[in-house]
Structure 1
Amino acid sequence: LKDMFKACQDMGMSHIAVTDHGNLHGAYDFFQLATGAGITPIIGIEAYVAPESRRHKRRVQWGQPHQKKDDVSGSGGYTHKTIWAYNKTGLHNLFRLSSDAYTEGFFVKWPRMDKETIAQWSEGLIASTGCPSGEVQTRLRLGQEEEALKAAAGYLEIFGRDRYFLELMDHGLDIERRVRDGLLEIGRKLGIRPIVTNDSHYTHAHEADAHDALLCVQTGKNLSDPDRFRFDGTGYYLKSPQEMYAIDSSDAWQEGCANTLLVAEQVDTTGWFEARDLMPRFDVPEGYTEVTWFQEEVRKGMARRWPGGVPEDRQRQAEYEMGVIIQMGFPGYF
């Protein structure tokens, strides 16, 4: 992460987002390191969304058997949706969505949200149609234009025009371009603006081979295995704004690059991960604080244990341990 934030500084980038698959485990470290580097963090998630209810624990296919490769991801387990928090309320709602996905929507190995929970906890959140595995794009690949339009309209109603975008990305993959015209047509019909993203898994372009080797370690495969899991396409690194604009000269792509600022400018990190003292408060006698009463009680206890006088080494150890407890803010607990 430190290398990535240094690269952000070098490229003059003021904001950067994290959207890990199905979890928020890296959010705190990302936030701390980003703010320490003077970069505004945008905390998000690439959510797994159940094709029906999150409580429906069976695979669902929307298309015909011959369309299997274009159907719901995970052989019918989930679609994707990109969601970002833009304020404290949104961050807390992301946590709620993620927790519910694990407790209510977990299926096979995917913690899944659904439209019900997304609508319930949408305040403070910005969303997009997601990557090519999103619901709208999946419906378009299956030739289900009306269902795709209905899905986009449903999320537009949940988030509103300023908080819902058509997501465009380009890593040289056919699946990213096949339904782009249909996606943009839905945008024109519903007034949804495009936004460009890049799937970044490492910081620099030269780290692609190292990332490929890491995938082999993760999946227990060899680089020489032709059937191993790998990333098709290119460009999965942190690109500069200039590189992103240069990918495609179309009006939609250029507008989508500019529209990333519409997300960034809404982000207010005030109160994110603010420290809160959740230790119990202990009633103490008048004239004492929790610290001084704690110290008094320890001294009384030691006097009872050693009525003839506390040994010097025991006194020294007690002072040390009291210091640690006080430093940690725990005297009320003890």
Structure 2
Amino acid sequence: MNDPPMENGSSSTPFVHLHNHSEYSVLDGMCRIEDMVQRAVEYGMEALALTDHGNLFGAIPFYQACQRRGVIPVIGCEMYVAKGSRFAKEPSQKDRHHLVLLCADETGYRNLIKLSSLAHTEGFYYRPRIDKELLRQYSNGLIGLSACLSGEVPQLLLNDDYDGAKRAAGWYAELFGREGYYLELAYHGLEKELKVNRGLLSLARELELDVVATNDCHYLDHSDHRAHEVLLCIQTQKTFADDDRMRFPSDQFYFKSPREMEKVFGELPQALAASAQIAHRCRLVLELERKGGKLPSYPVPEGLDEGSYLRKLVLEKLSERCPGCDARYTQRVEEELSIINAMQ
């Protein structure tokens, strides 16, 4: 018999949350970063992931919050993946799949930044989207999870297309490597999830892939689910009284304790343990000592440094755009240039 769970909510099997949405999943996530990291500490979690929808806006505040509290930060993102090309922007392309990506190292972090940027600059159509072409280019250093019911593999299983799900899972496994792609098991009390989980377990056995247990955390406490519904009303411009308003299908999308997760997945301890194993593979170290951050090196003409060359270009353009402008403009230029130069 296993030892009883500890009073702080921990369990006999190590578990960490790898699928979490903060306030930076705008009008969808309600887990404030500081509160979420503190809750992870209270639950005895050694690590924690941030996987906001389609962006990395919270990555640095999350990293710093984890560093202050001795928690391993796992920077990630729940990406939107276009069903075809990211450049296709017709009504038929509005639907997209979800895919959770986690940074294992600095290469993965740089690739995730690139994916997020291109999702906004090239693939944006209702949501920032990548496609499989980009994934093939920027998959190094990343760990992939099959995501929630909106993931490609779960969607195929829901549609009773097991062979299609097998092909899709095989494609991701080949891309990330069999040790870098996990089939994500989640259960928020939905019948659809039971169906999908059965399919995922079958795929895991057939393709020799690992599974990992997650909870799709959109708010911190169970009691926050009503407030989260209000947040969704704001996003969709509905009122709480509207029968057709968007709502989550259950009240289980909160930051559960390891003990609660063990109650859900107690028969699959390997899926719980995989969460901690994945987190320990993610050892990203960011150098954030400089208050101004880091600016890229830029080639400049001989005899000039980066600061003087930038000043030359700015003053030339100022003269073109504002011939004979008064001292207020040049004073503002000098002030802003001094701020940029101080960041070097």
Structure 1 and Structure 2 fold alike (TM over 0.5): yes
Give the counterpart of 2:283 among 268, 280, 286. 268
Q: Per the alignment, in what secondary structure is the counterpart of residue 195 of structure 1?
A: strand
Q: What do the CA deviations read for 1:46-100 (whole angstroms, capped 9, x no partner)?
A: 111111222233455xxxxxxxxxxxxxx85211111111111101100111111
1:80 aligns with 2:101: no
CA 1:189–1:282: 2 relative to 1, 3 Å:
closer
Q: Which residue of 1 aligns with 2:88?
A: 56
Contact map agreement 1:51 1:76 (CA 8 A) in 2: no
Q: What do the CA deviations read for 1:266-317 (whole angstroms, capped 9, x no partner)?
A: 111223656425588999x9xxxx9xxxxxxxxxxxxxxxxxxxxxxxxxxx
Contact map agreement 1:280 1:332 (CA 8 A) in 2: no
Contact map agreement 1:85 1:124 (CA 8 A) in 2: yes
1:23 aligns with 2:55: yes
Whichever residue aligns with residue 35 of structure 1, its letter is Q
1:167 aligns with 2:184: yes
Whichever residue aligns with residue 25 of structure 1, its letter is F
Contact map agreement 1:48 1:81 (CA 8 A) in 2: yes
Q: Per the alignment, in what secondary structure is the counterpart of residue 51 of structure 2?
A: strand
TM-score (norm. length: structure 2): 0.74
In the TM superposition, residue 115 of structure 1 has moved relative to its aligned partner by 1.4
Give the counterpart of 1:141 among 154, 158, 161. 158
Q: Which residue of 2 aligns with 1:13?
A: 45
1:47 aligns with 2:70: no
Q: Which residue of 1 aligns with 2:172?
A: 155
Count of aligned pairs = 282
Q: Which residue of 2 aligns with 1:99?
A: 117
In the TM superposition, residue 37 of structure 1 has moved relative to its aligned partner by 2.2
Q: Which residue of 2 aligns with 1:69?
A: none
Q: How does 1:1-334 map to 2 (within 5 A)?
A: 1-58=33-90, 77-107=95-125, 109-251=126-268, 254-271=269-286, 275-276=293-294, 278=296, 330=341
Q: Which residue of 2 aligns with 1:293?
A: none
- CA RMSD across the alignment: 3.0
Q: What do the CA deviations read for 1:202-226 (whole angstroms, capped 9, x no partner)?
A: 2222222222222223333222222
Q: Per the alignment, in what secondary structure is the counterpart of residue 123 of structure 2?
A: coil
Whichever residue aligns with residue 282 of structure 2, its letter is V
CA distance in 2, matches of 1:281, 1:58: 41
CA distance in 2, matches of 1:263, 1:222: 40
CA 1:162–1:12: 2 relative to 1, 3 Å:
same
Q: Which moved more, 1:201-210 or 1:82-91?
A: 201-210
CA 1:277–1:49: 2 relative to 1, 3 Å:
closer
CA distance in 1, matches of 2:169, 2:299: 49
Q: Per the alignment, in what secondary structure is the counterpart of residue 229 of structure 2?
A: helix
Q: What do the CA deviations read for 1:185-209 (whole angstroms, capped 9, x no partner)?
A: 1111111110011111122222222
Contact map agreement 1:91 1:272 (CA 8 A) in 2: no
In the TM superposition, residue 23 of structure 1 has moved relative to its aligned partner by 1.4
Structure 2 stretches of 5 or more lacking a match?
1-32, 308-333
Whichever residue aligns with residue 176 of structure 2, its letter is F
Q: Per the alignment, in what secondary structure is the counterpart of residue 154 of structure 2?
A: helix
CA distance in 2, matches of 1:86, 1:160: 13
CA 1:98–1:272: 2 relative to 1, 3 Å:
farther
Whichever residue aligns with residue 32 of structure 1, its letter is Q
Whichever residue aligns with residue 174 of structure 1, its letter is E
Contact map agreement 2:148 2:216 (CA 8 A) in 1: no
Structure 1 stretches of 5 or more lacking a match?
61-74, 291-321
CA 1:14–1:216: 2 relative to 1, 3 Å:
same
Contact map agreement 1:81 1:134 (CA 8 A) in 2: yes
Q: Which residue of 2 aligns with 1:307?
A: none
Q: Per the alignment, in what secondary structure is the counterpart of residue 281 of structure 2?
A: coil
CA distance in 2, matches of 1:332, 1:81: 36
CA distance in 1, matches of 2:299, 2:174: 45
CA distance in 2, matches of 1:276, 1:325: 16
**Identity %, equivalent residues:** 37
CA distance in 2, matches of 1:332, 1:93: 24
